[in-house]
Structure 1
Amino acid sequence: MPILEIGQDKINYQLKREDDIYFVKIYLDDLNGICVTAPSKKQDENVEAFIVKKKKWIKEKWIKIHDDLYQTVQIETGARVSYLGRKYKLITENSTEQETYFTFQKGKFFFTYPSSLSNEEIKNELNKQRDQWLQQKASEKFKQLHSNDIQSEDDHYRLGFKKEDGILLNWRLIQRSKPEIQSTIDDLIEEKTF
């Protein structure tokens, strides 16, 4: 399965070659991600150039389909963070410390930040810290959800991938409920497409 790095984004795609077509087609499979069909004689670099050209469209469509996995958290009263299918209250506080901290305690998320940061910097740091925390938890929790070897992977614009020896899951799935994650694992095992 080829992987294409475009800036900070990684697009893992499935490439299928056919003799009876004359142009490249891109299809977004809800589960498996990006599927590309290309003419048999089309060179790989031309296929990749087409994917690069369509990167913005791919990203917009993928995020629209899975908008629950790409929510940004705002610094506002009543803000919540999704984790394992529940939305937990977020408490934000400025601090005299120069570091930012993001923790989960007693059913609430806490984010502390230096008072020297601008509102935009606070929002960016909050989402960065939240993503790092969720990625770490995905690595821990996914392994507990199934008897197969389940590992988390970077966001490659797919929910997961079935390998010979296990399953890779997009770390962002840690925001969904355990039954939803297990359903995704089962769909990958059964090699479903949507």
Structure 2
Amino acid sequence: MPVLKIEEDTINFAYYKKDDVSFVKIYLDDLNGVSVTAHTDKSEEDVKAFLRKKKNWLDEKWKKLHLDLYTENELKENAKIAYLGRKYKLNIEETTSKDPGFTFHKGKFKFTCPHSLSKNKQEQTFTQLMENWLQKKAEEKFPQLYQGALMENDQYRLGVKTDSAIYLNWRLVKRSKQEISKVIEDLKQEKTY
């Protein structure tokens, strides 16, 4: 399966060549991600260039289908952050410490940040620390739900099944265990959406 990196995003895509196709077709499947069909004369580099041009369209289409996974969390007191199907309050604490932090304790998230950071830098730091925390939890929780389930960073699929493992979009850790298990079951049965 070809891979395209655009900035920090990874796009794994299936690439099919056909003689009877006159233009490049993109198909977006929840479980299996991006599929591209093009004429046999098109090179993989041409297809990658086309996907680069269509990145905004892919983002818009995918995120519209999965608002629960891609809704941006605002950095404000008592904002809600989704984790394993529930939403937990966020507490913000400005400190004199130089090191920002993001923790979960007693049913609440806590973001600590230095007074000296600009508002923009605080938001960037918050997003990065929150995503790192969720990715770490995805690495822990997914194998508990299914032995051999691993976390992946692909932006445009919920997961994929290979011969040796099941890979799940780390953002799924925002959904309930039952919803994650359903995605795993669908992947095992090689369903498409």
TM score, norm. by length of structure 2: 0.96
Q: How many angstroms apart in 2 are the aligned matches of 1:22 and 1:119?
A: 50
Q: How does 1:84-123 map to 2 (within 5 A)?
A: 84-123=84-123
* Equivalent position amino acid for 1:191 in 2: E
Q: How does 1:6-155 map to 2 (within 5 A)?
A: 6-146=6-146, 148-155=147-154
Q: How many residues align?
A: 193
> 1:73, 1:123 within 8 Å by CA — same for their partners in 2?
no
Q: In terms of mean alpha carbon deviation, does 89-98 or 33-42 score higher?
A: 33-42
Q: How many angstroms apart in 2 are the aligned matches of 1:151 and 1:8?
A: 20
Q: CA deviation at 1:77?
A: 3.2
Q: How many angstroms apart in 2 are the aligned matches of 1:107 and 1:42?
A: 53
* Equivalent position amino acid for 2:167 in 1: L
Can you list the C-alpha shifts for 1:155-175, whole angstroms capped at 9, x where unaligned? Answer: 331111101011000111100
> 2:97, 2:113 within 8 Å by CA — same for their partners in 1?
yes
Q: How many angstroms apart in 2 are the aligned matches of 1:158 and 1:92?
A: 32
Q: CA deviation at 1:135?
A: 0.3
Q: How many angstroms apart in 1 are the aligned matches of 2:182 and 2:78?
A: 30
Tell me the C-alpha RMSD between the 2 structures: 1.1
> 2:2, 2:15 within 8 Å by CA — same for their partners in 1?
yes
Partner-residue secondary structure (3-state), 2:160: strand
* Equivalent position amino acid for 1:56 in 2: N
Q: CA deviation at 1:113?
A: 0.3
Q: How many angstroms apart in 2 are the aligned matches of 1:165 and 1:94?
A: 45
Partner-residue secondary structure (3-state), 1:12: strand
Q: How many angstroms apart in 2 are the aligned matches of 1:55 and 1:73?
A: 22
Q: CA deviation at 1:31?
A: 2.0
Partner-residue secondary structure (3-state), 2:97: coil
Q: How many angstroms apart in 2 are the aligned matches of 1:18 and 1:189?
A: 28
Structure 1 stretches lacking a partner, 5+ long = none
Can you list the C-alpha shifts for 1:50-94, whole angstroms capped at 9, x where unaligned? Answer: 111111111121111112111222122320111001001111110
Partner-residue secondary structure (3-state), 1:94: strand
> Kindly, what percent of the aligned residue pairs are identical?
51
Identify the residue that residue 158 of structure 1 maps to in structure 2.
157
Partner-residue secondary structure (3-state), 2:110: strand
Q: How many angstroms apart in 2 are the aligned matches of 1:38 and 1:62?
A: 21
Q: In terms of mean alpha carbon deviation, does 112-121 or 92-101 score higher?
A: 112-121
Q: CA deviation at 1:127?
A: 1.1
